[in-house]
Amino acid sequence: MKQSYSNLIALIQSDMYRYYGCISWKFFFKLLMQEKGFVASVSYRATRFFHINKCRPIGFFMKLTNRIIQEHYQCELPYNCRVGPGLHISHLSGMVINGDCVLGKNLNLSHQITLGGKPKGAFSGTPTLLDNIYIGPGAKIIGGIIIGNYVAIGANAVVVKPLPDNCVAAGVPAKILSEDGSGDYCLNTDYEDKIQNLPSIEFC
Does residue 50 sit in the same domain as residue 12?
A: yes
Q: What's the pLDDT tens digit per position in 40-91?
A: 999 999 999 999 998 888 889 999 999 999 999 999 999 999 999 999 998 8
Does residue 54 sit in the same domain as residue 99?
A: no
pLDDT of residue 105: 96
Tell me whether residue 64 is exposed, middle or buried, using C-beta atoms within 10 angstroms of its C-beta: 0 to 12, 13 to 18, 19 or more.
Answer: exposed
Does residue 106 sit in the same domain as residue 177?
A: yes
Higher-scoring residue by pLDDT: 201, 88: 88
Q: How confident is the model at residue 151 (pLDDT cuts 50, 70, 90)?
A: very high
Q: What is the mean pLDDT of the chain?
A: 93
In a domain, 59, yes or no: yes
Structural domain boundaries enclosing 141: 94-186
For the chain, the domain total comes to 2
pLDDT of residue 199: 87
In a domain, 170, yes or no: yes
